[in-house]
Amino acid sequence: MEKKKVSDYMTYDVVTVEAAGTVKDVIAHIRSTHHDGFPVVRGKKVVGYISARDIIGVHPSTRIDQIMSRHLIVADPEMCITDAARVIFRSGIQKLPVIDENDELVGIISNADVIRSQIEHVSPEKVFNFMKTLTKLYGIEPTLDRGLIPVEKLRPTQAKIYQDELEGRMYEIRKGLAEPVIVVRQPGKLIMVDGHHRAVAAKRLGIRHLEAYIIDITEDIELGLERTANNMKLHSLDDIAVLDYARHPLVAITHRLVPHS
Among the candidates 53, 88, 118, a domain finishes at 118
The Cα 27–Cα 34 span in angstroms is 10
> At 256, which helix (H) or strand (E)?
helix 254-257
The answer as to whether 253 is a domain residue is no
Measuring CA to CA, which residue among 155, 144, 170, 149 is closest to residue 232? 155
pLDDT score at 261: 47
The answer to whether residues 46 and 254 touch, using CB atoms and an 8 Å cutoff, is yes
The answer as to whether 53 is a domain residue is yes
* Beta strand pairing call for 209-216 and 45-51: unpaired
The answer as to whether 257 is a domain residue is no
Same domain? For 10 and 60 the reply is: yes
* Beta strand pairing call for 37-42 and 17-18: parallel
The answer as to whether 258 is a domain residue is no
The answer as to whether 259 is a domain residue is no
How is residue 13 annotated by DSSP?
A: S
The answer to whether residues 46 and 97 touch, using CB atoms and an 8 Å cutoff, is yes
Number of domains in the chain: 2
Give residue-wise pLDDT tens across range 147-196: 999 999 999 999 998 887 788 788 888 888 778 999 999 999 999 999 99
Which backbone phi and psi does 215 adopt, to 5 degrees?
-95, 110
Average pLDDT score over residue span 51-59: 93
pLDDT score at 244: 74
Same domain? For 68 and 27 the reply is: yes
The answer as to whether 45 is a domain residue is yes
Same domain? For 104 and 134 the reply is: no
Same domain? For 185 and 222 the reply is: yes
The CATH number of the domain holding residue 190 is 3.90.1530.10
The answer as to whether 260 is a domain residue is no
Same domain? For 97 and 142 the reply is: no
Measuring CA to CA, which residue among 163, 253, 151 is closest to residue 199? 151
Percent of the chain with pLDDT over 90: 53
**Looking at the predicted structure, is the pLDDT value of residue 251 above 80?**
no
Q: DSSP characters for 191-226? A: EEEE-HHHHHHHHHTT--EEEEEEEE--S----HHH
Same domain? For 240 and 131 the reply is: yes
Same domain? For 43 and 99 the reply is: yes
3-state secondary structure of 242: strand
How is residue 122 annotated by DSSP?
A: -
What confidence tier does 24 reach under pLDDT thresholds 50, 70, 90?
very high
Measuring CA to CA, which residue among 41, 96, 50 is closest to residue 252? 96
Same domain? For 218 and 131 the reply is: yes
Same domain? For 105 and 156 the reply is: no
Among the candidates 118, 149, 176, a domain finishes at 118
Same domain? For 128 and 183 the reply is: yes
Same domain? For 114 and 128 the reply is: no
The CATH number of the domain holding residue 35 is 3.10.580.10
Q: What is the mean pLDDT of the chain?
A: 86
Measuring CA to CA, which residue among 237, 52, 68, 61 is closest to residue 158? 237
Give residue-wise pLDDT tens across range 109-140: 888 777 666 554 556 677 888 899 999 999 99
Same domain? For 27 and 107 the reply is: yes
pLDDT score at 28: 95
Domain of residue 42 covers 6-118
Among the candidates 118, 146, 166, a domain finishes at 118
**Looking at the predicted structure, is the pLDDT value of residue 67 above 80?**
yes
